A and B are shown apart, each in its own frame.
Chain A
Amino acid sequence: MKLRTATPIVLAAALVLTTAACGGGGPAQPSGDGKSFEFWSFSGINQKRTVEDYKKINPSVEVKLTEVGSSTETAQSLTTALAGGKVPDLVLIQGDNLPQFVQQPQNFQDLRQYGADKIKGDYLDWVISQSTAKSGEIIGIPTDVGGMAVAYRTDLFKEAGLPTDRDEVSKLWPTWDAFIETGKKYTAATGKAFVDNAGTSVFYQAVNQGPQKYHDPSGNVVYATSPQVKTAFELAIKSIQAGITAKQSSFEENWIAGMSKGDYAVVSAPSWLLGQIRDYAPDTKGKWDIATIPGGAGNWGGSYLAIPKGAANPKAAWEYISTMQSPQNQLAHFLDVGSLPTTPSVYQDPKLLAEKDPFFSDAPIGKIYTDSLLGLKPFLIGPDSAAIGQEFLNAITNVEQGKGDPATAWDTALANIKTAIGK
């Protein structure tokens, strides 16, 4: 019994202990044999495909790909590994998790030593600047950006007497208020929910559409006073009060089930979500289409490839990055899987502009998603951004589930954020 008593504490402490034992920088780095490397990715983003493509170009190189789990789980495992375990040679980090790593650049290889500073002009300025540390190290190369749009079910729109053509649908909601009004019409006509939830489909989208999110340009937290945040929060509450949300938390089982069952007709879809819709609801092929996001430009998500300091085969890993993240290969990956390139030189490429997705009623996804990025005003993402976003989401979800008071939700969220991040 005694041992069991202490088990969780011991476990936590043991992990901490390894931290202390192995923390700090290692000896001079080996460059490896150049013939194999270990790659940690998260699931749902189909890196297998990219790895297979790479093997066609470089058949002699062996890539050991591990899908660790969700993007958050992958970042957690990476942190634990950096603190004292065996690190992979290459790791995929989701944009929201990146700042905490960029703040500690000593844990990663400075990619400038391999020539990252020569190719950084290939990538969107504001995207590569997020993986550039204060002292200049480049620790990650961006693989894709989110870009924003709305996926909707044409069959359900038809039943509700709404237009189904994507241009007409886009015209229904130039603003978020118009989006909510459309939702009311849909719900009144069908008695069913319009959008999956208010947190990710309204708040997360609207808050990402403007020049200043949770931080000001010099890095101070301004979540409490930023008009952009407040407006997005109020829109989310408004959509809940309009009774148009299905109350399904994103990525949960019922959210996935609801996607094929038509529990909601609309879901905000950054480009990386398209692959998930295809995978989770294969029998709805052809019933979806893509319209523009209310409020215009914005970005949600995107990922980076980084090489930890202690990597055994950094050369092979860099070979992979520089090959697969070249503008031409990002374009090829987009045509294959649908993740939007971070390399603006291909945004006018006829192949990208002509790309149509049969699953989504032949929507021109290349054009829709690049348009959503073109007017974008970049905002700063800080190490606390993920925690702040999560607390806002929790407060909104609580109202949506009928437990929280809409009138006090904003103050509750601010208080919880202050407790969580201490400022």
Chain B
Amino acid sequence: MTTTLSPPRVVPEATTRVRQSLAERVAPYAYIAPFFVLFAIFGLVPLLFTFYVALFDWNPIGEHVFIGFDNFTRLFGDARFWNAAWNTISIWLLSTVPQLLVALVLAHLLNHARLRLAVFFRMSMLVPYITSVAATTIVFAQLFDRDYGLLNWLLGFVGVGPIDFLQSVWGSHTMIAVMVTWRWFGYTTLLYLASLQAVPRTIYEAAAVDGAGAWKQFRHISVPSLRPVIVFTIVTSTIGGLQIFTEPLLVSNAAPLTCGPVRQCQTLTLFLYEQGFGQFQFGYGAAIGVALFVLIIAVATLNYVLSTRIRPERG
């Protein structure tokens, strides 16, 4: 294929144009095809198959009995499912809200014109993000440990003590939320920072000349210009938050699949894993997967609707 700007004169111009525009029309689809082919094989087919399995009492090494929607009926009457749903939402709120607020403030500070070693500080934000989740979890589990934890050791000095974080609902949720926040705040900060860098520095300078302090600059320049990316991070953290898995799995090594004796920090994905791969009720596990899928679609739609309603008012 040549990309000559002047086609050979012997060929009628019209024919060449038709041929080129056909190629032009096909080309984009060819370029994006690999993703959709891969998605169909590794995403769509398994997804549809999950819906199918959810209709069975499916023993992985035995019989597959068709039971219709019984798995779903059972699921909605299962207190463990609602407990897991509540835990997931609670951990998500406890981790997302502080994470986004911290990231907002940090991004504003890192964007400051007179910050020395700016690149060093900006890059160091990524360190928690690139650390392995397992490593992070082990370190935090030790910090929060009842008997030998640093946190309880420090609390001992002020006469508080020892708190068994893992055994209580709020304690375990907080502990996991701290880990999630720790891992993601740097990533979010850099997203905000990238967006802030697009804001012309002259606006800040003009505001400073007009007598606006750091807080006013933050409120009236940084936050409004970040609105689209804030919406984006809320959506992504919602999706990520509904799928929290590794942290609750690893904090409780005595009863990992339930995250504690009374499932105090068992999330939806962990419940799915427990039923599917712990108890080998593949059909029931698949039903949980379907419920989770529907939930994520619902929340994502809600987010979309909200984010199109709340448009940044510039001016």
CB-based contact A401/B46 at 8 Å: no
Pick from B78, B80, B279, B289: contact of A9, CB under 8 Å: B289
- Specify which chain A residues have a CB less than 8 angstroms from the CB of B255 in the assembled complex: 249, 390, 394, 397
A79-B296 contact in complex given A16-B282, A254-B145, C-beta closer than 8 Å: no
CB-based contact B239/A4 at 8 Å: yes
CB-based contact A251/B254 at 8 Å: yes
B7 at the interface (CB under 8 A from A): no
CB-based contact B282/A3 at 8 Å: no
B98 at the interface (CB under 8 A from A): no
CB-based contact B53/A5 at 8 Å: no
A397-B43 contact in complex given A100-B280, A419-B78, C-beta closer than 8 Å: no
Closest to B138 in A: A253
Nearest-neighbour CB distance to chain B for A267, whole angstroms, equals 15
CB-based contact A20/B49 at 8 Å: yes
A350 at the interface (CB under 8 A from B): no
CB-based contact B277/A80 at 8 Å: yes
CB-based contact A404/B61 at 8 Å: no
CA distance A83 to B280 in the complex (A): 11
B236 at the interface (CB under 8 A from A): yes
Nearest-neighbour CB distance to chain A for B75, whole angstroms, equals 11
B60 at the interface (CB under 8 A from A): yes
CB-based contact A17/B61 at 8 Å: no
Q: Which chain B residues numbered 140 to 198 have a C-beta less than 8 Å away from chain A?
A: 145-148, 164, 167-168
B110 at the interface (CB under 8 A from A): no
CB-based contact A16/B46 at 8 Å: yes
- Specify which chain B residues have a CB less than 8 angstroms from the CB of A4 in the assembled complex: 239-240
A8-B43 contact in complex given A13-B286, A394-B258, A401-B167, C-beta closer than 8 Å: no
Nearest-neighbour CB distance to chain A for B235, whole angstroms, equals 8
Q: Which chain A residues numbered 198 to 248 have a C-beta less than 8 Å away from chain B?
A: none
CB-based contact B239/A5 at 8 Å: yes
- Specify which chain B residues have a CB less than 8 angstroms from the CB of A402 in the assembled complex: 164, 167
CB-based contact A79/B280 at 8 Å: yes
Closest to B258 in A: A394
CB-based contact A252/B61 at 8 Å: no
A387 at the interface (CB under 8 A from B): yes
CA distance A419 to B61 in the complex (A): 23
A82 at the interface (CB under 8 A from B): yes
Interface membership of chain A positions 55-84, coded 1 if the CB is closer than 8 angstroms to chain B and 0 otherwise: 000000000000000000000100110110
B269 at the interface (CB under 8 A from A): yes
A12-B285 contact in complex given A1-B239, A252-B253, C-beta closer than 8 Å: yes
Interface membership of chain A positions 11-46, coded 1 if the CB is closer than 8 angstroms to chain B and 0 otherwise: 011101101100000000000000000000000000
CB-based contact A83/B61 at 8 Å: yes
A13-B239 contact in complex given A251-B254, A419-B80, C-beta closer than 8 Å: no
A12-B286 contact in complex given A1-B239, A5-B296, A252-B253, C-beta closer than 8 Å: yes
CB-based contact A404/B262 at 8 Å: yes
- Specify which chain A residues have a CB less than 8 angstroms from the CB of B79 in the assembled complex: 419
CB-based contact A252/B254 at 8 Å: yes
CB-based contact A6/B262 at 8 Å: no
A12-B272 contact in complex given A104-B59, A257-B148, A401-B167, C-beta closer than 8 Å: yes
CB-based contact A17/B39 at 8 Å: no
CA distance A74 to B58 in the complex (A): 21
Q: How many residues of A contact B (CB 8 A)?
A: 47
- Specify which chain B residues have a CB less than 8 angstroms from the CB of A398 in the assembled complex: 261-262
Nearest-neighbour CB distance to chain B for A363, whole angstroms, equals 29
- Specify which chain A residues have a CB less than 8 angstroms from the CB of B74 in the assembled complex: 422
CB-based contact A401/B261 at 8 Å: yes
CB-based contact A13/B61 at 8 Å: no
- Specify which chain B residues have a CB less than 8 angstroms from the CB of A3 in the assembled complex: 39, 43
A8-B272 contact in complex given A3-B43, A82-B61, A394-B255, C-beta closer than 8 Å: yes
Q: Which chain B residues numbered 225 to 258 have a C-beta less than 8 Å away from chain A?
A: 235-236, 239-240, 243, 245, 253-255, 258
Q: Which chain A residues numbered 258 to 292 have a C-beta less than 8 Å away from chain B?
A: none
A403 at the interface (CB under 8 A from B): yes
B278 at the interface (CB under 8 A from A): yes
Interface membership of chain A positions 401-420, coded 1 if the CB is closer than 8 angstroms to chain B and 0 otherwise: 11110000000000000011
Closest to A251 in B: B254
- Specify which chain B residues have a CB less than 8 angstroms from the CB of A14 in the assembled complex: 42, 46
Pick from A16, A83, A104: contact of B286, CB under 8 Å: A16
A79-B282 contact in complex given A13-B50, A403-B167, C-beta closer than 8 Å: no
A107 at the interface (CB under 8 A from B): yes
B200 at the interface (CB under 8 A from A): no
CA distance A397 to B148 in the complex (A): 20
- Specify which chain B residues have a CB less than 8 angstroms from the CB of A107 in the assembled complex: 61
CB-based contact A104/B62 at 8 Å: yes
CA distance A397 to B164 in the complex (A): 13
CB-based contact B261/A395 at 8 Å: yes
- Specify which chain A residues have a CB less than 8 angstroms from the CB of B164 in the assembled complex: 401-402
Interface membership of chain B positions 267-292, coded 1 if the CB is closer than 8 angstroms to chain A and 0 otherwise: 00100110011111010011001001
A129 at the interface (CB under 8 A from B): no
Q: A13-B50, A82-B61 are in contact. List 11 more A-B contacts (CB 8 A).
A: A5-B296, A7-B243, A8-B243, A10-B46, A13-B46, A76-B277, A79-B280, A104-B61, A254-B146, A401-B261, A403-B262
In the assembled complex, 10 residue pairs joining A and B whose CB atoms fall closer than 8 Å, in A order, are: A5-B239, A10-B46, A16-B49, A20-B49, A79-B60, A252-B253, A253-B253, A254-B145, A403-B262, A419-B80
